[in-house]
């Protein structure tokens, strides 16, 4: 596929805007770029490179002549218009959860299972959940080095921007109210998020886990092509504006070593190892924000499980966790 027509669906949203930035920064080759959004955004002008592009209203007829459609909208719209785009001749790369567990839809992190883009009978490729992407970017080089991952235990520390602009606004408003000694109102989250942590991201299911936590297990199994992996996650919302952090314990088929683990991480694309115990060097959300790589530190042997390592990984959930990953999938199709 050379110089495709690319449509960005949800171009005025946070992820859509980041997709445009990634297309620009990575100099992705295309013949035409279409910006699609809701009726209220139609007619808006957006600067891209040396052009001023007008946002068009998203309608079923929008996909005529489109080769690649990058969807960053709700799952309902993806389910409705994704197949419409495919019928018009486009390959859909979808950021929502609509198709992730569909057997005929590959779930792709290009550095890990990029070859899966060749197997998309429905014409749709799904972007994984942001927390899964950040976790697996660090886990995959290790599980390859040590014969596969058998068990995964993770606790995530997720930024409010994962809830969109409303999550950011809630943290800002509560922080300002606290400084003025005014009442703090919680609308987006079930509890105050400022100066607090909330151990619930997405609704709690009958098994006691949240939807976000189950994504970690189900998506990990699919991406790594290993349905036997045992995974348990606790996902926590924290008062951080951007970038998700994950504390991970992973058990492998063979005994790992710190030296081999460091070598595997240092050689992995999209990873930076920041791990100096004596100098208190380890990644924080501020270090990862607005960056493309996932940062790994606090690497150590786990004391509770045999053949296990513990580590800390941080990644920008808007960039690698969403927009960048989608653009990288598009690059695989173009190449």
Does 330 lie in the same domain as 301? no
pLDDT at 257 exceeding the cut of 80: yes
Domain range for residue 123? Answer: 5-127+322-334
Report d(CA 176, CA 159) in Å as an integer: 18
188 shares a domain with 306: yes
**Confidence tier at 232 by pLDDT (50, 70, 90):** very high
pTM, rounded to two decimals: 0.96
Residue 157 confidence class, pLDDT cut points 50, 70, 90: very high
d(CA 88, CA 72): 19
Please state, in angstroms and rounded to a whole number, the distance separating the CA atoms of residues 125 and 316: 21
Q: Are residues 102 and 153 in the same domain?
A: no
Question: Are the C-beta atoms of 135 and 217 separated by less than 8 Å?
Answer: no
Strands (E) located in 253-289 = 271-273
Establish whether 235 is a catalytic residue. Answer: no
pLDDT-derived band at 226, boundaries 50, 70, 90: very high
Residues 140 and 283 in one domain: yes
One domain, residues 262 and 136: yes
Q: Using a pLDDT cut of 70, give the percent of the chain over it.
A: 100
b/e for 156-170, b at 16 or more Cβ within 10 A? Answer: bbbbbbbbeeebbeb
The whole-number pLDDT of residue 168 equals 96
Quickly count helices (H) and strands (E) in the chain: 9, 13
- Exactly one of 149, 235, 244, 294 is catalytic; name it: 244
The CATH number of residue 41's host domain is 3.40.50.720
Please list the residues that pair with 251 across neighbouring strands: 151, 308
Cβ contacts of 202 within 8 Å, gap of 6 or more: 210, 211, 212, 235
Please compute the mean of the pLDDT values over residues 59-78 and round it to a whole number.
Answer: 97
Domain tally for the chain?
2
pLDDT at 128: 98
Tokens coding 299 = 């690497």
CA-based nearest residue to 228, from 290, 148, 162? 148
pLDDT of residue 335: 83
Tokens matching residue 262: 């460091």
Q: pLDDT band for position 50 (50/70/90)?
A: confident
* Average pLDDT, integer, range 206-225: 97
Locate 154 and state its tokens: 């993770």
Sheet (strand 230-237) strand order: 230-237, 149-158, 244-252, 308-315, 294-301, 271-273
67 with 174, same domain? no
Residues 105 and 185 occupy one common structural domain: no
Is 80 exceeded by the pLDDT of residue 171? Answer: yes
Bridge-based pairing of strands 308-315 and 244-252 is: antiparallel
Q: Could you confirm whether 244 is annotated as catalytic?
A: yes
Question: Are both 154 and 54 inside the same structural domain?
Answer: no
- Residue 195 and residue 116 share a domain: no
Find, among 301, 99, 136, the residue nearest to 233 by Cα: 136
Based on the fold, state whether residues 283 and 328 are members of the same structural domain: no
List the catalytic residue out of 130, 149, 235, 294: 130
- Residue 50: helix, strand or coil by DSSP? coil
Indicate whether 193 and 307 sit together in one domain: yes
Q: What is the mean pLDDT of residues 170-176?
A: 98
pLDDT digits (tens, 9 = 90+) for 275-319: 999 999 999 999 999 999 999 999 999 999 999 999 999 999 999
Distance CA(73)–CA(76), nearest Å, equals: 8
Same domain for 152 and 293, yes or no, is yes
Section 258-263 average pLDDT:
98
Q: Chain-centre distance of CA 185, in angstroms? A: 29
* CATH code for the domain of 190: 3.30.360.10
């Amino acid at each position: 596929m050379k110089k495709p027509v690319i449509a960005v669906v949800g171009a005025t949203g946070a992820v859509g805007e980041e997709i445009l930035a990634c297309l620009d920064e990575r100099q992705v080759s295309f013949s035409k770029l279409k910006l699609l959004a809701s009726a209220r955004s139609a007619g808006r002008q957006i600067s891209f490179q040396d052009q001023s592009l007008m946002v068009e209203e998203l309608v079923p007829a929008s996909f005529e002549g489109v080769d690649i459609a990058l969807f960053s909208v709700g799952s309902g719209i993806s389910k409705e218009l994704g197949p419409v785009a495919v019928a018009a001749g486009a390959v859909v790369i979808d950021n929502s959860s609509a198709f992730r567990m569909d057997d005929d839809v590959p779930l792709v992190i290009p550095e890990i299972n990029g070859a899966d883009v060749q197997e998309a009978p429905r014409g749709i490729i799904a972007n994984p959940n942001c927390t899964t992407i950040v976790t697996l970017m660090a886990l995959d080089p290790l599980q390859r080095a040590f014969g596969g991952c058998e068990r995964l235990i993770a606790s995530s520390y997720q930024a409010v921007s994962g809830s969109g602009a409303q999550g950011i606004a809630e943290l800002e408003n509560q922080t300002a109210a606290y400084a003025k000694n005014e009442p703090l109102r919680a609308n987006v989250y079930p509890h105050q998020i400022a100066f607090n942590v909330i151990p619930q991201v997405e609704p709690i299911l009958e098994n006691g886990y949240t939807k976000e936590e189950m994504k970690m297990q189900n998506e990990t199994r699919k991406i790594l092509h290993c349905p036997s992996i045992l995974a348990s996650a606790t996902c926590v919302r924290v008062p951080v504006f951007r970038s998700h952090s994950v504390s991970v314990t992973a058990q492998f088929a063979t005994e790992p070593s710190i030296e081999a683990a460091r070598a595997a991480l240092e050689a992995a694309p999209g990873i930076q190892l920041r791990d100096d115990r004596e100098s208190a060097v380890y990644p924080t959300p501020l270090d990862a924000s607005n960056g493309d790589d996932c940062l790994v530190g606090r690497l150590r042997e786990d004391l509770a499980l045999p053949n296990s390592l513990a580590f800390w990984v941080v990644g920008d959930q808007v960039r690698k966790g969403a927009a960048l990953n989608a653009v990288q999938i598009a690059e695989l199709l173009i190449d």
